Amino acid sequence: MHHIIERWRALKTDARRYLLHLAILTLSLSVVGLYYNLAVLALGYSRGFLGILQTVTQAVAALLSLPLWLGVQRLGLRAAIITSVALYAAGILLFAAFPQAALLICSAALMGMASVLMQVTAAPLMMRLSNDATRDDLFSASAAVAVGLSGIGNLGAGFIADTLSHVLGAPADSGATYRAVFAIAGIGVLASLPPLFLIREPERAPESPLPESGASPSGTGSFFGGLPSWLLVAQPWFWRLPTPLRALLRKPAFVAKLLLPPFLISWGAALLIPYLNLYFRERFGLDNRALGVLFAGFDVATGLASLTGPALAARLGKMRTVAVTRAIGVPLLLILGAASDLWLAIAAALARVMASNMASPLYDAYAMEQTEESARPFMIGLLGAAYSIGFLIAPLISTFVQERYGFGPLFVATAILYALSVAVTWWFFGKERP
């Protein structure tokens, strides 16, 4: 505990303000995440429509990724996150106020836009708010807050739903109750804005070296010496690209290696993870409060586990830690899918989320360290796209399989995709030393 307190004191004031914002935002979004699937079904819509909403969220995110990434360059990181919070609030409040099908699709689109802005700005902002000594701690603290506070939000969500059910005189699992819960969550999202307004966005870090003095874009000086050969014949259009894209194109093979593991994870996650609340309700008959307590326990444990990531990375290296911890999660996922006893399922799920999710902040920190400062919003955006691309199609596949075959095939498919992700991570980055 003393070690954790000392690490907290080492963080800059603006880094602490960012974590406070993240805590408030997470508490509010966790309520939406816990009840979203249940709310859509309670409003009378089918699982197929639920899959469509999941797909719309990710499709909008994918289509608008490039314009939003470019917009971050003009807005600045802090302003982009503020815009993301406003979009989240608008989407959630729209869901609460107008649950018609067309407007629910609009709500999903707004939240998709918000998620992209959050993805492309959070990690680069944390890079500016930290230094070499505090970077792993800030990224891990961010993950711990995001996951741990999500657990507390889930815990409170069950009691909020029960209270509103009593006030409204409606069943706890009714559409009216869920809409009221979402209204409170939307207000909570807006409450996360004040700490952001207090952050003073740091100046940009020094850019990576540009062409040597005397070298022009049309020449082949030392700058072009570091480019892949296929770009040497494309100098005219290369120099018209934005600086961040030029930085990424200097090392396309490394970028591709970095994107493949999250690409595989996205397909596995999209098939199963968003529907675990439905799985526990249908297989074990858990009500709102029990689901809230259950997912709260998962998230709090995962948040605490995230704090151990830097210590493991110091011994094994960041990417080895990512591979090892995610590998541990694969058999646990299969146990969860096969368990007929509630407590065995809970134990397997708890161990899985702790092992698998502590790796994410280390992966992001590694990617940011290997990317030029100007290109970091693009790099984290590409990572976000890789983690999300499976959600364009897999939710529709998942809901189809659920209706006809249950959850069994989904657990197997997800485990296979996660195992492939672990294999390629170790293959590409396993030689890394701490």
Residue-level pLDDT at 6: 54
127 pLDDT band, cuts 50/70/90, is confident
Flag whether 207 is in a domain. no
Report whether 79 contacts 423 (CB < 8 A).
no
Domain containing residue 77: 9-199+241-429
266, 315, 356, 433, 434 from 430: Cα distances, Å: 21, 13, 17, 8, 11
Task: Please give the Cα distance from 90 to 4 (Å, whole number).
Answer: 36
Tokens for 8, please give them.
């907290």
Flag whether 234 is in a domain. no
Span between the terminal Cα atoms of the chain, in Å: 24
Q: Is the pLDDT reported for residue 212 higher than 50?
A: no
Tokens for 289, please give them.
């409060």
434 pLDDT band, cuts 50/70/90, is low
Flag whether 404 is in a domain. yes
Flag whether 257 is in a domain. yes
Residue-level pLDDT at 86: 95
Tens-place pLDDT, residues 19-69? 899 999 999 998 898 899 889 999 999 888 988 898 888 788 777 766 776
What is the DSSP secondary structure assignment for residue 217, as one 8-state letter? T
Measured in residues, the chain has a length of 434
Residue-level pLDDT at 11: 66
Flag whether 363 is in a domain. yes
Task: Please give the Cα distance from 337 to 410 (Å, whole number).
Answer: 9
CATH code where residue 357 lies: 1.20.1250.20
Tokens for 205, please give them.
């870090």
The shares of helix, strand and coil residues in the chain, as percent rounded to the nearest 5, are 80, 0, 20
422 pLDDT band, cuts 50/70/90, is very high
Tokens for 76, please give them.
């600045």
Flag whether 58 is in a domain. yes
Tens-place pLDDT, residues 400-411? 899 888 899 999
Q: What is the pTM of this model?
A: 0.66
Better-predicted residue by pLDDT, 138 or 4: 138
Section 77-106 average pLDDT: 93
Contacts with 213 (C-beta within 8 Å, 6 or more apart), sequence order: none
Query: For residue 131, is it left (φ>0), alpha (ψ between -120 and 50) or beta?
Result: beta
Flag whether 221 is in a domain. no
Better-predicted residue by pLDDT, 366 or 385: 366
Section 95-108 average pLDDT: 94
Residue-level pLDDT at 221: 35
DSSP 95-113: HHH---HHHHHHHHHHHHH
Domain count, the chain: 1
Tokens for 310, please give them.
């830097």
Flag whether 270 is in a domain. yes
